[in-house]
Structure 1
Amino acid sequence: MNSQSSIFLAGASRGVGREIAKCLREQGKIVKALLRSPDTKPELEAMGIEVVMGDALDAEAVKQAMSGSPISAVISTIGGLPKDGERADYLGNKNLIDAAVKVDTQKFILVSSIGSGNSRVALPPQALETLGAVLVEKEKAEQHLIDSGLNYTIIRPGGLKSEPATGNGILTENYSVSGSIHRADVAQLACRCLQSSAANNKVLSALDKQMVWSQVEFDVLSLD
Structure 2
Amino acid sequence: MQNIFLAGSSRGVGREVAKLLLENEPPSVNLTVLLRNPTYAVELEALGAKVVFGDALNAAELEAAIAKVGDIDIVITTMGGLPSDRGERADCEGNKNLIDLAVKAGVQKFILVSSIGSGNSVVALAPQVLATLGAILKEKEKAEQHLVASGLTYTIIRPGGLKSEPATGNAVLTEDPTISGIIHRADVAKLVCKCVNSEKTNHKVFSAIDRNMLFKPVEFETFNF
Please report the TM-score for the alignment, with normalisation by the length of structure 2.
Answer: 0.94
Tell me by how many angstroms 1:77 deviates: 0.2
What is the CA–CA distance in structure 2 between the aligned matches of 1:81 and 1:181, rounded to whole Å?
A: 22
Aligned length: 220
Report if aligned partners of 1:79, 1:89 keep a CA contact under 8 Å in 2. yes
Report if aligned partners of 1:57, 1:95 keep a CA contact under 8 Å in 2. yes
What is the CA–CA distance in structure 1 between the aligned matches of 2:32 and 2:137, rounded to whole Å?
A: 27
What is the CA–CA distance in structure 2 between the aligned matches of 1:83 and 1:215, rounded to whole Å?
A: 39
Tell me by how many angstroms 1:81 deviates: 4.2
Q: Deviations 1:1-59 (Å, cap 9, x if unpaired)?
A: xx1x4200000000000000001101422110000011101111111100000000011
Change beyond 3 A, Cα 1:8–1:83: closer
Aligned residue in 1 for 2:22: 25
The residue type equivalent to 2:208 in the other structure is A
Aligned residue in 1 for 2:163: 161
Aligned residue in 2 for 1:196: 198
Tell me by how many angstroms 1:64 deviates: 1.9
Aligned residue in 1 for 2:128: 126
Q: Deviations 1:152-179 (Å, cap 9, x if unpaired)?
A: 0000000001001111110000000000
What is the CA–CA distance in structure 1 between the aligned matches of 2:4 and 2:159, rounded to whole Å?
A: 21
Tell me by how many angstroms 1:217 deviates: 2.5
SS of the residue aligned with 2:63?
helix
Q: Residue 56 in 1 paired to residue 56 in 2?
A: yes
Report if aligned partners of 1:114, 1:158 keep a CA contact under 8 Å in 2. yes
Q: Residue 9 in 1 paired to residue 6 in 2?
A: yes
Q: Deviations 1:176-196 (Å, cap 9, x if unpaired)?
A: 000000000000000000011
What is the CA–CA distance in structure 2 between the aligned matches of 1:82 and 1:103, rounded to whole Å?
A: 27
Report if aligned partners of 2:92, 2:143 keep a CA contact under 8 Å in 1. yes
The residue type equivalent to 1:53 in the other structure is F
SS of the residue aligned with 2:101?
helix
Q: Residue 70 in 1 paired to residue 71 in 2?
A: yes
Alignment partner for residue 210 of structure 1, among 188, 195, 212?
A: 212
- Which ranges of structure 1 fall in alignment gaps of 5 or more residues? none
What is the CA–CA distance in structure 2 between the aligned matches of 1:146 and 1:18, rounded to whole Å?
A: 25
Q: Deviations 1:87-141 (Å, cap 9, x if unpaired)?
A: 2110000000001001111100000000001101000001101001100100000
What is the CA–CA distance in structure 2 between the aligned matches of 1:216 and 1:147, rounded to whole Å?
A: 32
Aligned residue in 2 for 1:79: 80
The residue type equivalent to 1:69 in the other structure is G
SS of the residue aligned with 1:89?
helix
Per mean C-alpha deviation after superposition, the further-off stretch among 76-85 and 121-130 is: 76-85
What is the CA–CA distance in structure 2 between the aligned matches of 1:97 and 1:160, rounded to whole Å?
A: 24
Aligned residue in 1 for 2:36: 36
Report if aligned partners of 2:114, 2:159 keep a CA contact under 8 Å in 1. yes
- Which ranges of structure 2 fall in alignment gaps of 5 or more residues? none
What is the CA–CA distance in structure 1 between the aligned matches of 2:119 and 2:183, rounded to whole Å?
A: 19
SS of the residue aligned with 2:73?
strand
SS of the residue aligned with 1:213?
coil
SS of the residue aligned with 1:90?
helix
